[in-house]
Amino acid sequence: MSSQDGGARRRTAIGQLSTLQQRFEESRTGQVMISGLVAAIVFVGVAWNLPESPIKRSLVPVLRPTAVVNLNQSWAVYAPSPIDRFNTVEVQVTMADGASRVWTLEPGTRMHRLFASSHWEKLFEYVLLDSRARQGVARWAARKLTGPSERAVRVVMLLRTKGLSPPGEEASTATATKVLYQEDLTVAQR
């Protein structure tokens, strides 16, 4: 038997399968089954992405077997909970002469915001989540704010939080301040 005969047999078998598939898709039974399958997949996808509620909790045990084919993936990343507060990190540096300087974690110029914003966002996130990073960032900000003939004696890192109101509601005036890190630099310089 030559390889040409094998290729011809494969093409014939594929042709017979595609004819069988076509007959199934065109039959009333096939159309009902395919429509039911599509409707079930859409239902499962919608049900897995419902917000937390008694309805979703009652559906989860029934839907759990569909996790095998990965129909349980969440699409919440495309519609996350809206931000309800605005956070800023501020480093206050006190100089030996009593003067006070403030550094905030905000990019400056428009070009800087365009190209370096992810850098500042990651630093901001790092400072909020990892307390070990705060000393280094606070001391760096103190060095940035201290002139050649000045000496910083105290550094305080603050988190300022302002509540944001949903659109159409009166502006929120709720604010909070939390000390993230503080250090007496005169002790560190000895």
pLDDT digit string, tens, across residues 84-128: 788 888 999 999 999 999 998 664 545 555 655 667 777 888 888
Q: pLDDT digit string (tens) for 117-136? A: 667 777 888 888 888 989 99
Same domain, 152 and 92: yes
Of 53, 78, 103, which marks where a domain is finished?
78
DSSP 61-93: HHHGGGGGGTTT---GGGSPPPP-EEEEEEEEE
Strand segments (E) across the chain: 85-95, 100-104, 152-163, 175-184
Of 18, 52, 78, which marks where a domain is finished?
78
State pTM to two decimals: 0.53
Range of the domain at 124: 85-189
Backbone angles phi, psi at 98, to 5 degrees: 95, -10
> Do 182 and 154 contact (CB within 8 A), yes or no?
yes
Same domain, 67 and 122: no
CA dihedral sign of residues 42, 21, 25, 33: negative
Structural domains counted in the chain? 2
Same domain, 94 and 184: yes
